[in-house]
Structure 1
């Protein structure tokens, strides 16, 4: 009895019949091998349909291609999830690539060599690619180590770091230094704002500024813009008399300016504040040097100006309250400082032997100073504002600037008293000053 073919939409049409096998006796082997995947005949009621009366009808074949030919075939292999029948290339070891990069750049060469050795070990165990990269990194890194050793032994490292420091300075805005006594021009002609470079010029001709002092701020974190500028303002004004000792010689339109570190340059080690003279009119410039100190003055001029400086410092320490009645104790303390300064100034002038041309005029100044000292001492002991004003007025007459013109002329110093502006310090006070950040 023949075994009918399975039903389904793919059943071939027409007279063709699939091959069949004769039924074998129980004690005989079938003439053809049985397919290992076939299921035993189904048990139970026969299925309904065209072959419902056939007791040997099989269950529908498993879902697989219909076997061709006289022999049943194995089904196609099904690939398990996560496995590809295609060969994937082995990955490249990451440490090998890193070792090669460090070796080429000569950056941390010892690290590049170590990473290359580790990469070779990993490649061998994992079957990864990148052996050439690892070997190249080891070779290049070894050369880098030798170069570093050579640089350290020959001084080349110091040259490298010096160049690196200069490049960092350029990035942070510190691209120049100007020393005491030097003059320069700024690219924009202004002494306010940010400065990235200056053009040094001779002080004999026109220039924007002349440096008269510099000092260094203490190390630590950046103190802030306000604190830096306040420190610069206070110290630069105090230092100007050491460079331009004859304040009468300063033009009225000259004031104090300064370079200060920025937050960025501070991070690169910049701590210097540079003090300079500049013109208060941005459209104008300076001509000639303003320097008059021990390098340009003779002994008599230097002795006279050093004595005058003592009194100037005391006068500049006046209380913030302009009216005595608002702060009588503060004004009395100020009068005490002025009285002491007059005593010291008179002693300095008396102890120095001036030339014959100036000795008589200087003696007259000493007499005025001693008379003025008595009045300032009385003002320091005043019990009320009216008494203070009375002695203050008399004491101020003795130290009036016009009383020194004769002696100054004999000494060869400036003879035009400085102008005093409201709220200013007087001598050479030409404006509010300013600052540049570098």
Structure 2
């Protein structure tokens, strides 16, 4: 008798020797829960209990239960952040949006509210508006201060530049000058600027020192602008515009040297007094440069009017004139005259060399009488009339001034003391 083998644990009990037994079939229900797998190694959980059948037929999904929402409730929006953004966009009150943005960020952090990006944007816009406002205020303040300084300068010593002619609003070149009206030199005018002297220093040196500097420098610079002193009319005087203590504090550091009428209330006729290298030819400039050497020496006469009062001083002065005459004659001899004036200039040179000998003897005089003897001869040889022929040949002015600065001869122009404007 044979013993059948034990059943295979992997074969379901419903399976016969001929194969699996057919299972009863149920109608297919697409909404029915899935059947447990006959091969599941572990028991499956029981299906969840079904609710009552829906009057609308089977439902594929369960409806939401009470206390649950398909959407999360959003956090509230912070009001400060909105205000910060609005004020930042409008920029009507610079800085307020920046403050509100900081408050909003602090509240958002504590309360968990929304609006961080709005607060940040408002802060940025407000900061930009604040910067623009500050720059605008600073620029306006700077412009205002510049206007104040310009006004102060204009109200103290606003002067035209070298070569310009002007009218004084008051009609006078005396007293305080507040401004000047620049006009054409071809028309009648109150003054003509012939030099500008720069000053330096941090502290105002005082009215007396500034005036003394102006007096010295303006007279020394006259010849550089009007080289031919004979061409300057006798009724022309020297004036100058100097800084005041107020204008000095605003950076005014210039002395303006001016030609004006000897009558401060009168005007100058039309036409510029300028005659220098910009208006003269090379022969004229060469002649006038040589003449200025002698003029400078003659202007260095001692203060004592009489020789008896300062014989040593007059002898030293005569020595300077003698040296200047030698230099003047050498300059004229060394120039190549291209306008046919060499003969007339040569005759003048002879007089200059003869005059040099007399001035040299005066410089060695033992007493006042001997000094006067040689001085008179030397002065006659350099009398202005001696140079009229050469001047005419060169096309320069031929009418000597009516009086000289020091009454000592030569070709010095006639000028009286300058007046401060």
- TM-score normalized with structure 2 length: 0.66
Q: Secondary structure at 1:357's aligned position in 2?
A: coil
Mapped to 1, the partners of 2:188 and 2:266 lie a distance apart of: 9
Corresponding position of 1:301: 284
1:384 aligns with 2:367: yes
Corresponding position of 1:432: 417
Mapped to 1, the partners of 2:190 and 2:321 lie a distance apart of: 36
Corresponding position of 1:265: 247
1:171 aligns with 2:152: yes
1:317 aligns with 2:295: no
1:328–1:141 distance in 2 versus 1, CA, 3 Å: farther
Deviation at 1:394, TM superposition (A): 1.0
CA contact (8 A) 2:219 2:238 kept: yes
Corresponding position of 2:327: 344
**Worse-matched range after superposition: 254-263 or 349-358:** 349-358
1:232 to 214, 223, 234: 214
1:341–1:430 distance in 2 versus 1, CA, 3 Å: closer
Equivalences for 1:231-250 in 2 at 5 Å? Answer: 231-250=213-232
CA contact (8 A) 1:169 1:175 kept: no
Equivalences for 1:56-135 in 2 at 5 Å? Answer: none
Mapped to 1, the partners of 2:405 and 2:395 lie a distance apart of: 30
CA displacement, residues 300-330 of structure 1 (integer Å, 9 cap, x when unaligned): 1010001001100110000000111111111
Gaps of at least 5 residues in structure 2 are 1-91, 103-124
Mapped to 1, the partners of 2:335 and 2:404 lie a distance apart of: 33
Mapped to 2, the partners of 1:174 and 1:262 lie a distance apart of: 7
CA RMSD of aligned residues (A): 3.0
CA displacement, residues 191-234 of structure 1 (integer Å, 9 cap, x when unaligned): 11111111110001100000000011121211111111111011
CA contact (8 A) 2:157 2:244 kept: no
Q: Which runs of 4+ in 1 moved over 6 A?
A: 139-142, 421-426
CA contact (8 A) 1:261 1:270 kept: yes
Corresponding position of 1:201: 183
Q: Secondary structure at 1:207's aligned position in 2?
A: coil
Equivalences for 1:413-424 in 2 at 5 Å? Answer: 413-420=396-403
Mapped to 2, the partners of 1:412 and 1:163 lie a distance apart of: 55
Mapped to 1, the partners of 2:206 and 2:191 lie a distance apart of: 25
CA contact (8 A) 2:156 2:244 kept: no
Q: Secondary structure at 2:341's aligned position in 1?
A: helix
